[in-house]
Amino acid sequence: MFTEQQILAAHSKVKSGADFPKYIQEIKVLGLTQYEFWVTDGHTSYYGNEEVINGKGKYDFIEIASISSAATLRHNIAIHQQGQTDFLTFCRQAADAGVEKWVIDTQKMMCTYYNVDGDEMVAEPIPQAAY
């Protein structure tokens, strides 16, 4: 059983996209199997063993582009993973690329981005954390 506070504490250690794999490993140990992050306001739904926690929005409303671009999204992901953008900038860039939400699956170690029509745009394996 996990709490939102535990998840937020783990997330607070993430300073750039490079820290993301370690964060995923930490929340996986807590029992989190999946989460959905909604780009419009940053609210997140956390799932694990018949448990669901719905978090609150983290920032002001961001409009999602109605036309999606997987190529633009791939570029934005790459520069974010290199530490060239902060999280809010990445969220804005994702919205501009047409991303409505992304889903993290800690069992499959995948991050999948979806547009407003629910179509998969990009699916990326989450690398193992370097310790």
Q: What is the CATH number of the domain that holds 63?
A: 3.30.1810.10
> For residue 89, what pLDDT is reported?
95
In a domain, 131, yes or no: no
Q: Which residues pair with 59 in a beta bridge?
A: none
Q: List Cα–Cα distances, 42 to 1, 18, 69, 71, 107, in angstroms.
A: 23, 20, 20, 23, 23
Query: Tell me, what's the pLDDT at 71?
Result: 98
Q: Which residues of the chain have pLDDT under 50?
A: none
> What pLDDT shows up at residue 70?
98
Instruction: Report how many domains make up the chain.
Output: 1
The reply to whether 130 falls in a domain is no
Asked if the structure places residue 78 within a domain, the reply is yes
Does residue 38 lie in a domain region?
A: yes
CA atoms within 13 A on the CB side of 60: 1
Cα–Cα dist 33/101, whole Å: 17
Amino acid 67: pLDDT: 96
Domain that holds residue 11: 4-125
Predicted structure pTM score: 0.89
